[in-house]
Amino acid sequence: MPLTSLFRPLALMIAVASLTSPVALADEAPAVPPAPEASSAADSEAQGLLPLDDLRTFTKVYEHIRQGYVEKVEDSTLLEYAIKGMLSELDPHSAYLGASSFGDLQMNTTGEFGGLGIEVGLENGYVRVISPIDDTPAAKAGVQAGDLIIKLDEKPVKGMNLNDAVDLMRGPKGSKITLTIVREGVEQPFDLELTRDTITVQSVRSKIIEEGYGYLRIAQFQVNTGKDTVKAIQKLEKEDPDLKGLILDLRNNPGGVLQASVEVADAFLEDGLIVYTEGRVSNADLQYKAKPGDLTHGLPIVVLINDGSASASEIVAGALQDHRRAVILGTQSFGKGSVQTVIPLGEDRAIKLTTALYFTPNGRSIQAQGIIPDIEVDRAQVTALRSGGLHVTEADLQGRLDNANGGKAQDSKSRADAQRKKDDLFAEDNQVFEALNLLKGLNLFGNHLPRPAKTVAALEDTVAEED
């Protein structure tokens, strides 16, 4: 193959991937004189030229593969492999998106896709679980954040790129796949059989966890997560107009759409910077600010994070922490603080390229550092130590005097029922239990802004305007 014939598609490919103006090639641009022989590769790079010697090496390798590989491979396939190789060597999050992967990415942003419901990354040649998505085959089968997947249906993943591993995990609804997992604290690898399903992620869920205290869970940041969060706040206000605090659960939230994370943080901030990005090209330097008005009017908030909280969830936690708007509780987050830009290469192909880094309002880089909680609480299996039987108090005694202030006596059964609910929460999720206690403490000492009256109708008007 003539050298110039190969350079033309390669030049186009590099121009698109670098997000700069088309790159001039030393041997094809008559207006640019050839670089002197003494010039270094660094000199060529400084002048905006591609290193000719390295390109010649590439074409030699290309020609050897094309002519001597044991099986014939189409030129288009080889060039696609070259693109994949360039991107995969940059960082774990840059990738080539073929028709299937590009479609999957588009579906993920809307909240519906096929597969196992698992967010993964590549680590030392193996697939590392960042987090399982709530109510999916992966979560139901017991896959945990931090698990290392070493085999897929007895096929070793060592040496696979991430896209190939993800492709193996995807499949038609009802089909089965066996994951071989290595887990910290478990001596031997073990197998989990999962049945693939159509994954519909409910991005936001809410409930009153105890009288006066709401719980808001965001599983993933999708296109409509910001609006859904506002509606969830409205729903909690309807259920309990006298809310005293809110738990925002971002544990095992792998991230998602940047704009959605900005909208969620904006719902709890009066104003100010939420996040900013810095990159090499001018359009990568962006700032995202909150619009005036905190929908919760200073309601005390505890944000739960763990090592499965990544990217967009770290943006929200970092913004609320820097503005001292919430207390962050749990364990250190994942530390995925880079921005990926999806650049279409046609109707069904694209590249996902890391183009910038995220910074919190105070200038902290999230990348490879994560968000460190204000209060560290590990997830644990705990059991309350209580003596058996009912506890007898004055209220249980026959002929006891009534309360002098007219207070209602609470018998041992009522107290036992209330305590049982607390014990169940303590055993089920100790981090939520601690968050609830912290909110009660904040309320007790009044460490929050005065909360002016705001009717449910006003909240509904706010949602209607955003819709």
Give the length of the chain: 467
DSSP assignment of 215-280: EEEE--B-TTHHHHHHHHHHHHHHH-TT--EEEEE-TT---B-HHHHHHHHHHH-SSEEEEEEEES
Query: Catalytic residue among 322, 333, 338, 352, which?
Result: 322
- Residue 396: CB atoms within 10 A of its CB come to 15
DSSP assignment of 90-108: T-TT-EEE-HHHHHHHHHH
DSSP assignment of 272-323: EEEEEEEESSGGG-EEEEEPS--TTTT--EEEEE-TT--THHHHHHHHHHHT
Report the amino acid identity of residue 460.
E
Cα separation, 420 vs 426, whole angstroms: 10
Report the amino acid identity of residue 114.
G
- The three-point CA angle 318-249-296 to 5° equals 75
Please indicate whether residue 76 is annotated as part of the active site.
Answer: no
If we measure between CA atoms, which residue out of 380, 376, 388 comes closest to residue 428?
380
- Cα dihedral 245, 448, 302, 200 sign: positive
3-state secondary structure 13-66: HHHHHHCCCCCECCCCCCCCCCCCCCCCHHHHHHCCECCHHHHHHHHHHHHHHH
- Residue 206: CB atoms within 10 A of its CB come to 21
SS3 content of the chain, % helix, strand, coil (to 5): 35, 25, 40
Which residue in the block uniquely carries the two structure tokens 């499965």? 308
Please indicate whether residue 336 is annotated as part of the active site.
Answer: yes
On the CB side of 95, CA atoms within 13 Å amount to 17
> Which strand (E) or helix (H) includes residue 209?
strand 204-210
Please indicate whether residue 322 is annotated as part of the active site.
Answer: yes
DSSP assignment of 332-366: ------EEEEEEESSSS-EEEEEEEEEE-TT--B-
DSSP 119: E
Query: Catalytic residue among 84, 244, 336, 352, which?
Result: 336
- Alpha helices (H) along 116-161: 137-141
Query: Catalytic residue among 101, 311, 313, 333, which?
Result: 311
Task: Give catalytic residues, as residue numbers.
Answer: 311, 322, 336
